[in-house]
């Protein structure tokens, strides 16, 4: 019979191969899911894995959705490596969008083309403020950051709802819960004509480089990770655990808030109650599938954005619910968790002895 045998040390091979095997298992389970729903699995897989890359415009849309996922995941990776479990990036993303919208609404038709810069900075401030609440409660009262950050997600959504249904509601918007469309000066510059890809992707890639350098090439990044792996050793070495918590959460909040600002000042162009689409939660999967490594998260963000686009296409072309996106995200996470067992354990065939199992 097959048994699990502990490895003397984690397998470097399975650290890389585990996400690939998890993706393969997700595809196989997806085939079974489409069959169970009475749909052609070939067409089902096509809308998830081929349609998002079949043309230049489709690739642009893929990048548009991957950008906020990557930005949020970068901040979460810093948190998780620091043993700070920020589960509320969705709320920080929403508050980033709210703060950015507040500044964008101040723009006038005569405002200069530089106005998008304070809009993005306001989004970062909004995310940092919201994450700062979690940092303060953990630092001051030792509150559990998982529960605090998660509960603040719903508070942020209620703040958003209050604003778009109340004081920020467009009086000329035919009673729809949304702000007026932002002025052109607030719009994030696009990289290509006829595409929605904007400079957000360049900011995200710069963030990849910055986080990589900080984590793996600076003393501060090393101290941050040591604090997460061995808090007692970090304190003995003179590293501040309080500083690690504040730094991780504020950077994570800034990344999530920037993602929210890029959304409302980019593809959306106004603040609506539909800003929260689950990017903050999906980015958790992006971070772990990417092995909490900045480069790995680039590829996992692209994969997750394919799931978002595939879910939308499956709804319009195959008549399937949009919640199929979440199903695929969940399948990928569970498959990854299962495959990660192979990093620390190897499958070993043990010959059953007489009388065993009776």
Q: Is the predicted pLDDT of residue 90 greater than 70, yes or no?
A: yes
Instruction: Determine contact, residues 206/298, Cβ cutoff 8 Å.
Output: no
Average pLDDT estimate for 186-195: 90
Least confident residue range of 58-67, 76-85, 215-224, 342-351:
342-351
Query: Can you tell me whether residue 23 is helix, strand or coil?
Result: helix
Q: Is residue 162 part of a domain?
A: yes
CA distances for 333 relative to 36, 245, 281, 293, angstroms: 21, 26, 12, 17
pTM of the prediction? 0.93
Q: Is the predicted pLDDT of residue 1 greater than 80, yes or no?
A: no
Q: Is the predicted pLDDT of residue 174 greater than 60, yes or no?
A: yes
pLDDT of residue 173: 87
Average pLDDT estimate for 159-180: 94
Closest CA to 68 of 308, 314, 337: 308
Cα 261 to Cα 285: distance, rounded to the nearest angstrom = 22
Start-end of H helices in the chain: 12-36, 41-49, 56-81, 89-104, 116-141, 145-165, 200-217, 219-229, 231-236, 241-263, 279-289, 294-317, 324-339, 341-344
- Give the list of residues 6+ apart from residue 192 with CB closer than 8 angstroms, or none: 60
Q: Is residue 322 part of a domain?
A: no
Q: Is the predicted pLDDT of residue 226 greater than 90, yes or no?
A: no
pLDDT of residue 358: 46
Least confident residue range of 57-66, 213-222, 238-247:
238-247
Q: Is residue 42 part of a domain?
A: no
Q: Is residue 53 part of a domain?
A: no
Closest CA to 259 of 103, 128, 93: 93
DSSP annotation of 274: T
> pLDDT confidence of 356, banded at 50, 70, 90?
low
What whole-number percentage of the chain has pLDDT above 70? Answer: 98
Q: Is residue 131 part of a domain?
A: yes
pLDDT in tens, 62-74: 999 999 999 999 9
Cα 241 to Cα 223: distance, rounded to the nearest angstrom = 9
User: The domain containing residue 226 runs over which residues?
Assistant: 66-292
Q: Is residue 336 part of a domain?
A: no
CA distances for 209 relative to 71, 89, 216, 267, angstroms: 12, 21, 11, 25
Average pLDDT estimate for 288-314: 94
What mean pLDDT, rounded, does the chain reach? 92
pLDDT of residue 130: 98
Average pLDDT estimate for 26-37: 94
Q: Is residue 344 part of a domain?
A: no
> pLDDT confidence of 239, banded at 50, 70, 90?
confident
Helices 116-141 and 241-263 meet at what angle, rounded to 10?
A: 150
How many domains does the chain fold into?
Answer: 1
Q: Is residue 202 part of a domain?
A: yes
Average pLDDT estimate for 297-326: 91
């Amino acid at each position: 019979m097959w048994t699990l045998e502990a490895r003397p040390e984690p397998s470097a091979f399975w650290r890389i191969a585990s996400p690939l095997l998890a993706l393969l298992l997700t595809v196989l389970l997806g085939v079974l899911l489409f069959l169970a729903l009475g749909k052609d699995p070939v067409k089902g897989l096509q809308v998830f894995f081929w349609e998002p890359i079949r043309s230049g415009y489709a690739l642009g849309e893929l990048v548009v959705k991957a950008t906020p996922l990557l930005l949020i995941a970068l901040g979460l990776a810093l948190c998780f490596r620091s043993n700070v479990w920020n589960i509320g990036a969705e709320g920080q993303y929403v508050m980033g969008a709210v703060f950015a919208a507040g500044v964008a609404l101040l723009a006038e038709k005569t405002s200069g083309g530089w106005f998008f810069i304070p809009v993005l900075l306001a989004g970062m401030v909004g995310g940092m403020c919201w994450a700062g609440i979690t940092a303060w409660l953990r630092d001051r009262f030792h509150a559990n950051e998982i529960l605090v950050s998660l509960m603040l997600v719903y508070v942020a959504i209620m703040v958003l709802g209050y604003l778009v249904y109340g004081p920020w509601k467009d009086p000329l918007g035919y009673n729809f819960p949304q702000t007026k469309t932002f002025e052109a000066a607030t719009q994030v510059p696009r990289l290509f004509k006829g595409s929605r890809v904007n400079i957000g992707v360049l900011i995200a890639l710069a963030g990849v480089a910055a986080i990589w350098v900080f984590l793996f090439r600076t003393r501060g990044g090393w101290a941050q990770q040591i604090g997460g792996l061995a808090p007692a050793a970090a304190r003995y070495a003179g590293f501040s655990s309080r500083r690690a918590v504040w730094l991780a959460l504020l950077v994570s909040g800034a990344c999530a808030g920037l993602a929210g600002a890029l959304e409302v000042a980019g593809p959306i162009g106004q603040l609506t109650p539909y800003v929260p689409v689950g990017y903050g939660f999906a980015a958790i999967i992006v971070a772990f599938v990417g092995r909490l490594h900045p480069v790995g998260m680039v590829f996992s963000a692209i994969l997750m954005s394919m799931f978002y686009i595939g879910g939308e296409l499956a709804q319009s072309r195959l008549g399937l619910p949009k919640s199929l996106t979440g199903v695929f995200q969940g399948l990928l996470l569970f498959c990854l968790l299962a495959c990660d067992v192979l990093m620390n354990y190897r499958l070993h065939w043990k010959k059953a002895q007489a009388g065993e199992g009776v």
